[in-house]
C-alpha cells in the first residue's frame, strides 16, 4: 500500500503505472514527427484504405499478390515510424526512417513485379537480385516483429521460419529434409504458403475492414459510450464497480481485439473505481485481466485468430461468431457470478448515484453505436456479406454521425481517423506478418503433417495425452504473448491429429486451440494480462495472477466441454444445445459460489460444502449423462440443507483488506 500511496501523493495516474513495454507511445512519436512526414503518413493511410475498397469491391481488377504488396507498402513503414528502434529513441530517428523507406520501396517494387511472381518461378530464385530482395524483406519484417512483439517473439519466428535449414539435425518427429538458406528465405517471402498465404490474405481481405470500422468507432467516441453504458446499467448493482468492469471490458474488448490494449484502456478507469468501492487491489486487477481476456473471444468482432480460423477451416465468419456466442456469454456470466458472490459476502454496495450516468441520456447520446453493432451482426450472421460487412457498417456509422449532432464527424476529425487506421493496421501487420514465416517453415519441410501423424500414433487410445500436449503448447506460446503463433502451429499439427484420433468436430477443435492460447494471458506463472493489471492496481503480480486464474476458471473447462459436445457451439441438435447450456449455467453458479463462499440466488455456503460443490459443478457441466447425474446427486442435497447463517463474512473482508 505504501507504493500506492506514494504514487497518489505524487499525482501519478493509473496510465503512468503501465510498464514501458505495454505503454502506448505511438501518439507521442507521431506528434514529434515533422509536418510533411505526418501528412505523408495520413496520405498513405488513406491510399491503403482506398486500395482495399477498390480490391475488395472489385472496382479495378488487381492480382492478389499485387494488392498484398501494395497494402504492405502503405502500412508496414508505419511500424518503424510509430514503434521505437530502442528504448532511448523517443523521437523518430534514422534507425526508424531508413527501414521505413526501405520496406516502402521494396514492397512497391514487388507489387510492380506481382504478375512475374505469380506466373514465373521465384522459388527457388532464378536471379541473384530476387534473393537479395527476398532477404531484405525477410530481415525488415523480422525487425517489425522485434518492435511489435519483443525479442522472444522474434527468436521463435526466426527459429520456426528458418526451421527447414536446421530440420535435418532435429530428432524423431521433428526431422525434415535439408533445405538451403536461400531457398527457405525465398519460400518465406514469395510463397503462397508463407507471407503471401493465409495470414496476409486474412489481414488484406477480412481484417482490414474491421480495423477501419474500429478506427472510426474509436475516433467517434465509442469506447467512452460503452463505458458509460456499462456504468448506467450495472453501476448501481451490488459490487457495481466490478460489474461495470466486466461489462465494459467485454464491450470494448470485442471491438479492440487486443487483450493488453483492453487492460490499459478500460483498466485505467475501472480498476481505480473498483478499489474505491472496497475491492482489494489484487481482486480489482485480476477481474480486469479476466474481463479483458474474454474480449478476444466475444462476438461480433473477435481477435485476429477468429479471422484466420475462418480462412483456415474454410468456414464463414458468421458461423464462427455464432459458435463463440455461448462460451463467451457463459464466461462473462461466470465473472459476474464471482463478483456478485464476493460483493454479497463482503457487503459491497453499488456506485453512488452521482457517479452513474443516466441510462436514457447515455442511449440518446450513443444510440448510433448500438445500431451499427446490430447491423454488423445482421450482416455477418443473416446476410452473410462476410468481408463486405464492416465496410457497410462503416458507411452506416458515418451516415448516422451526420444525423447525430454530438457525434458528427467533422473535417478536422479526418486526420485522427486516418491516424487510427494507420496505427491499427501497422501494429496488426507488425505482429501477424512475421507469423506467416512460421507457416512457411513448417510447410516447406513437410514437418507439420509428420508431427500430426506422430501425435496420432502417440495418442492411439490415449486422447487425453494428445489433448494435454496441445493444451501445454497453447499455454506456453500464449504466455509469451504469441496467441496467433500458437494457433497457427497447432492448427497445422494438433487439429488434424484430433480429427483422426476421435473424429471430433473441426470447428470445435480450432476454437478449443484458440481458447487455450488466449487463456494463457491469465494463467500463472507468466500471466501477462494479470501482471499488467497488477501494475495498474498496485498489487502483487503473482497474487493477482492466481486470483485471475480463479475468477476465470470457466475458461479452463468450457473449451473441453464444447470439444466433446459441439452442440454447445451450435454444431449439433438445438435441444442438446439448450440442455447443456442450462447444465453449464448451473455449473458456473456452483463454481462461483464455491469459490467465493456465497452463491447467487442462494446465499452463504457452509465451509465444508464448498469443495464438494466445486467438484459437483464440473461433473454437472461435463456433457455426459452419467457424470451430470452424479454431480446433481452430490449438489442437490447440499443445497436443500439451505444457506449458512450470515455473520462469518466480516472476518474474510477484514483479511482481504489487510492483504490489500
Give per-10-residue mean pLDDT for the chain (660 aa). Answer: 42 57 75 94 96 96 96 97 90 95 98 94 91 97 92 90 90 83 94 92 92 85 85 88 84 70 80 89 93 86 86 91 94 94 90 86 91 92 90 93 79 87 90 91 77 73 81 77 82 86 90 89 85 89 92 93 95 96 96 94 92 95 96 95 66 40
How would you class 617 by CB atoms within 10 Å of its CB: exposed for 0-12, middle for 13-18, buried for 19 or more?
buried
- Cell numbers for 46, please give them: 488513406
Assigned domain for 320 exists: no
Q: CA-based diameter of the chain, in Å? A: 82
pLDDT at 338: 96
Instruction: Specify the DSSP class assigned to residue 204.
Output: I
Provide the β-strand partners of residue 599.
Answer: 603
- Strand pairing class (603-604; 598-599): antiparallel
Residue 344, phi then psi, degrees to nearest 5: -65, -45
Q: What pLDDT was estimated at residue 513?
A: 92
* 645 grid coordinates: 447463517
Environment class of 253 (CB within 10 Å of its CB; exposed 0-12, middle 13-18, buried 19+): buried
Confirm whether 65 is domain-assigned: yes
Instruction: Give me the half-sphere count of Cα atoms (radius 13 Å) on the Cβ side of residue 324.
Output: 30
How far apart are the C-alpha atoms of 133 and 475, rounded to whole Å?
36
| CA pair distance 16, 14, nearest whole angstrom | 5
Q: Containing domain of residue 99, as a range?
A: 33-213+410-445
Cβ atoms of 266 and 245 within 8 Å: the answer is: yes
| Distance between CA atoms of residues 118 and 109, nearest Å | 14
Domain annotation covers residue 545: no
The pLDDT of residue 256 is 62
Give the pLDDT of residue 596.
94
Instruction: Give the phi and the psi of residue 572 in degrees, each rounded to 5.
Output: -165, -170
| Residue 235 within any structural domain of the chain | no
Q: In this structure, is residue 543 part of a structural domain? A: no
Q: Which residues are 604's β-sheet partners?
A: 598
Please state, in angstroms and rounded to a whole number, the distance separating the CA atoms of residues 476 and 474.
6
327 vs 206: CA distance, rounded Å: 23
Taking the C-alpha atoms of residue 178 and residue 167, their distance in angstroms, rounded to an integer, is: 6
The answer to whether the Cα torsion of 515, 521, 523, 525 is positive or negative is positive
- Segment 88-123, tens digit of pLDDT: 888 899 999 999 999 999 999 999 999 999 998 898
The DSSP 8-state label assigned to residue 218 in this structure reads H
The rounded distance, in Å, linking the Cα atoms of 657 and 660 is: 5
How is residue 126 written as a grid cell?
532464378
- SS3 of 450-473: the string is HHHHHHHHHHCCCHHHHHHHHHHH
> And the C-alpha cell for 608?
465444508
**Does 117 reside within a domain?**
yes
Cα–Cα distance, 253 to 259 (Å, whole number):
7
pLDDT score at 565? 95
Is 542 inside any structural domain?
no
Q: Angle at Cα 437 formed by Cα 50 and Cα 87, nearest 5°?
A: 80
Q: Which three cell numbers mark 112?
A: 510492380
Q: Are 443 and 194 in contact (CB under 8 A)?
A: yes
Phi-psi region of 8 (alpha: psi -120 to 50; beta: other; left: phi over 0): alpha
User: How many Cα atoms sit within 13 Å of 636 on the Cβ side?
Assistant: 7
Q: What is the rounded distance in angstroms from the CA atom of residue 222 to the CA atom of residue 216?
A: 9
The rounded distance, in Å, linking the Cα atoms of 330 and 78 is 39
pLDDT for 139-168, tens place per residue? Answer: 999 999 999 888 988 998 999 899 999 988
Q: Supply the pLDDT for residue 21.
A: 55
pLDDT attached to residue 18 = 60
- Number of structural domains, the chain? 1
How many Cα atoms occupy the beta-carbon half-sphere of 339 within 13 Å? 32
In-domain check, residue 629: no
Give the Cα separation of 450 and 443 in Å (integer): 11
DSSP-assigned beta bridge partners for residue 598 = 604
**658: its cell numbers:** 489487510
User: Which residues lie closer than 8 Å to 390 by C-beta, 6 or more apart?
Assistant: 209, 210, 212, 213, 376
Q: Say if residues 14 and 275 touch (Cβ distance below 8 Å).
A: no
573 Rama sector, left if φ>0, alpha if ψ -120 to 50, beta otherwise: beta
Q: Look up residue 33 and give its three cell numbers.
A: 514527427
- The full length of the chain comes to 660
Place of cell 465496410: 391
Cis peptide before 526 (omega within 30 of 0): no
Amino acid at each position: 500500500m505504501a507504493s500506492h500511496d506514494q504514487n497518489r501523493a505524487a499525482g501519478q495516474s493509473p496510465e503512468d503505472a503501465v510498464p514501458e513495454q505495454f505503454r502506448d507511445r505511438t501518439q507521442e512519436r507521431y506528434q514529434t514527427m515533422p509536418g510533411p512526414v505526418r501528412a505523408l503518413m495520413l496520405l498513405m493511410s488513406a491510399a491503403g484504405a482506398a486500395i482495399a475498397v477498390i480490391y475488395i469491391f472489385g472496382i479495378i481488377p488487381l492480382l492478389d499478390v499485387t494488392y498484398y504488396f501494395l497494402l504492405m507498402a502503405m502500412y508496414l513503414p508505419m511500424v518503424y515510424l510509430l514503434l521505437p528502434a530502442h528504448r532511448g529513441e523517443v523521437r523518430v530517428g534514422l534507425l526508424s526512417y531508413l527501414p521505413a523507406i526501405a520496406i516502402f520501396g521494396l514492397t512497391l517494387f514487388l507489387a510492380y513485379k506481382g504478375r512475374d511472381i505469380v506466373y514465373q518461378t521465384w522459388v527457388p530464385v532464378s536471379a541473384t537480385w530476387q534473393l537479395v530482395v527476398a532477404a531484405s524483406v525477410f530481415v525488415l519484417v523480422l525487425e517489425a516483429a522485434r518492435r511489435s512483439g519483443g525479442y522472444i517473439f522474434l527468436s521463435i519466428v526466426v527459429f520456426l521460419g528458418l526451421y527447414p535449414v536446421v530440420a535435418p539435425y532435429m530428432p524423431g518427429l521433428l526431422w525434415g529434409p535439408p533445405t538451403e538458406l536461400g531457398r527457405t528465405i525465398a519460400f518465406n517471402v514469395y510463397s503462397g504458403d508463407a507471407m503471401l498465404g493465409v495470414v496476409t490474405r486474412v489481414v488484406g481481405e477480412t481484417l482490414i475492414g474491421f480495423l477501419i470500422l474500429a478506427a472510426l468507432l474509436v475516433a467517434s467516441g465509442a469506447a467512452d459510450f460503452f463505458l458509460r453504458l456499462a456504468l448506467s446499467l450495472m453501476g448501481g448493482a451490488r459490487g457495481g464497480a466490478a460489474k461495470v468492469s466486466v461489462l465494459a471490458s467485454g464491450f470494448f474488448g470485442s471491438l479492440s481485439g487486443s487483450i493488453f490494449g483492453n487492460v490499459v484502456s478500460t483498466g485505467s478507469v475501472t480498476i481505480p473505481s473498483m478499489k474505491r468501492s472496497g475491492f482489494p487491489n489484487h481482486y480489482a486487477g485480476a477481474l480486469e485481466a479476466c474481463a479483458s481476456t474474454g474480449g478476444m473471444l466475444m462476438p461480433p468482432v473477435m481477435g485476429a485468430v477468429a479471422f484466420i480460423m475462418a480462412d483456415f477451416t474454410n468456414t464463414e465468419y458468421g458461423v464462427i461468431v455464432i459458435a463463440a456466442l455461448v462460451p463467451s456469454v457463459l464466461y462473462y456470466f461466470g465473472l459476474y457470478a464471482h463478483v456478485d458472490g464476493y460483493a454479497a459476502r463482503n457487503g459491497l454496495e453499488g456506485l453512488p448515484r452521482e457517479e452513474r450516468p443516466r441510462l436514457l441520456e447515455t442511449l440518446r447520446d450513443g444510440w448510433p453505436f448500438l445500431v451499427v453493432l446490430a447491423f454488423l451482426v445482421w450482416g455477418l450472421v443473416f446476410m452473410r456479406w462476410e468481408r463486405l460487412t464492416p465496410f457497410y457498417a462503416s458507411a452506416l456509422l458515418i451516415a448516422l454521425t451526420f444525423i447525430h449532432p454530438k457525434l458528427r464527424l467533422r473535417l478536422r476529425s479526418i486526420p485522427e481517423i486516418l491516424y487510427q487506421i494507420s496505427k491499427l493496421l501497422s501494429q496488426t501487420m507488425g505482429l501477424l506478418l512475421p507469423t506467416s514465416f512460421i507457416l512457411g517453415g513448417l510447410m516447406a519441410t513437410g514437418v507439420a503433417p509428420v508431427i500430426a501423424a506422430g501425435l496420432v500414433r502417440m495418442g492411439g487410445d490415449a486422447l487425453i495425452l494428445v489433448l494435454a500436449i496441445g493444451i501445454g503448447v497453447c499455454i506456453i506460446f500464449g504466455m509469451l504473448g504469441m496467441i496467433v503463433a500458437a494457433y497457427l502451429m497447432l492448427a497445422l499439427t494438433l487439429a488434424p491429429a484430433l480429427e483422426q484420433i476421435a473424429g471430433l468436430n473441426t470447428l470445435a477443435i480450432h476454437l478449443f486451440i484458440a481458447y487455450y492460447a488466449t487463456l494463457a494471458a491469465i494463467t500463472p506463472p507468466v500471466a501477462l494480462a494479470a501482471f499488467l493489471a497488477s501494475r495498474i492496481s498496485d498489487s502483487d503480480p503473482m497474487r493477482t495472477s492466481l486470483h485471475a486464474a480463479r475468477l476465470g476458471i470457466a475458461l479452463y473447462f468450457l473449451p473441453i466441454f464444447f470439444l466433446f459436445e459441439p452442440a454447445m457451439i451450435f454444431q449439433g441438435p438445438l435441444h442438446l444445445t439448450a440442455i447443456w447450456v442450462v447444465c453449464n449455467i448451473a455449473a458456473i453458479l456452483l463454481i462461483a459460489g464455491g469459490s467465493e463462499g456465497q452463491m447467487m440466488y442462494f446465499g452463504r455456503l457452509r465451509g465444508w460444502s464448498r469443495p464438494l460443490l466445486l467438484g459437483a459443478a464440473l461433473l454437472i457441466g461435463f456433457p455426459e449423462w452419467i457424470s451430470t447425474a452424479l454431480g446433481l446427486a452430490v449438489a442437490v442435497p447440499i443445497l436443500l440443507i439451505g444457506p449458512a447463517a450470515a455473520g462469518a463474512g466480516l472476518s474474510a473482508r477484514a483479511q482481504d483488506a489487510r492483504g490489500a
